[in-house]
Structure 1
């Protein structure tokens, strides 16, 4: 199982946001100085993995798409952007077989930022074991009544 799947999930979401809002910067790494709005910040909050059957695992990826509005239109633009993000991710088709937004919620902070929390599901397989399961098989058989 590759750790790059997590990176690909974040990049796919960031690319979708950038395509929907081409005039606004989209960051995937935190800025030490903070963000100057309007801009987006996409980050992976949490990932979980549960064994389903044998070598099959179900992963859940929880992401935060934060929108930092310009100071002069903070609440108004945050409402507009939240609505557009819901439309964007309700049927989002990412690479690697991710299901569309399995769960979405949004939260408005006191500083005017809005955070859309997304959850995606993905099934992965662990590699098969290389060990030899059986060394030798001997089979005997007889024909009964010529049949």
Structure 2
């Protein structure tokens, strides 16, 4: 699951909640008062057992308050907490973590993280680039192309759930 999919889902949810507000991504242009900006604060990936990789994305949803704005910070924060506990993308539900709010210089900030496991599987029909002889009969192969066939999402109950992308065939990379 790409970071852009999460940005699109966050923007869609903001637009549904506040249809009269604009949503900017990675920028706060002049005259953006009274609108939202989504910024990616940090992304990380770490290798785990086998072909699993743990990814974490951190987002900042900023509301740029305009002069004499009627939007109350506490009511806005409560709505954000209630609505952004989960994000739904392609029939998958991701549980957001580390939700917190802050206000700096008239800008309301709502920060949140998402962590999930991605499963990378080498294409089965790909020729190995090389064989490395390690010990007696053990061959390790490195592949030219790798594609993601699904994601493992950490549920609220702490269990991992695998979602396999339906469009994945032998030569396709799904969802990312």
Q: What is the TM-score of this pair, normalised by structure 1?
A: 0.75
Q: Which secondary structure state, in structure 1, belongs to the residue aligned with residue 14 of structure 2?
A: helix
Q: Is residue 105 of structure 1 aligned with residue 87 of structure 2? A: no
Aligned positions of 1:125-140 closer than 5 A: 125-128=119-122, 130=126, 131=128
Q: 1 CA distance for matches of 2:44 and 2:92?
A: 16
Residue 20 of structure 1 deviates from its aligned partner by: 1.0
Q: Deviations over 1:12-71 (max 9, x none)?
A: 1111111111111111141453x4321000111111111121111110000000011221
**Bigger relative contact order (CA 8 A; separation at least 6):** 1
Q: Does 1:30 align with 2:30?
A: no
Cα 1:98/1:119, change in 2 over 3 Å? farther
1:50·1:59 contact (CA, 8 Å) conserved in 2?
Answer: yes
Query: 1:68-92: per-residue Cα shift (whole Å, max 9, x none)?
Result: 1221137x52222111111111133
CA drift at 1:97: 4.2
Distance in 2 (CA, whole Å) between partners of 1:97 and 1:51 is: 22
Aligned positions, number: 127
The answer for the alignment partner of 2:52 in structure 1 is 56
| 2:18 is the counterpart of 1:18 | no
Structure 1: stretches of 5+ with no match in the other structure = 134-147
RMSD: 2.4
Structure-to-structure mapping, 1:110-125, within 5 angstroms? 111-125=105-119
Query: Relative to total residues, which structure has the larger strand share, 1 or 2?
Result: 2
Instruction: Give the number of the structure whose residues are more often helix, by fraction.
Output: 1
Return the TM-score normalized by structure 2.
0.63
Structure 1 distance, partners of 2:34, 2:101, is: 18
Q: Which runs of 5+ in 2 are unaligned?
A: 132-176
Structure 1 counterpart of 2:68: 72
**Radius of gyration: which is bigger?**
1
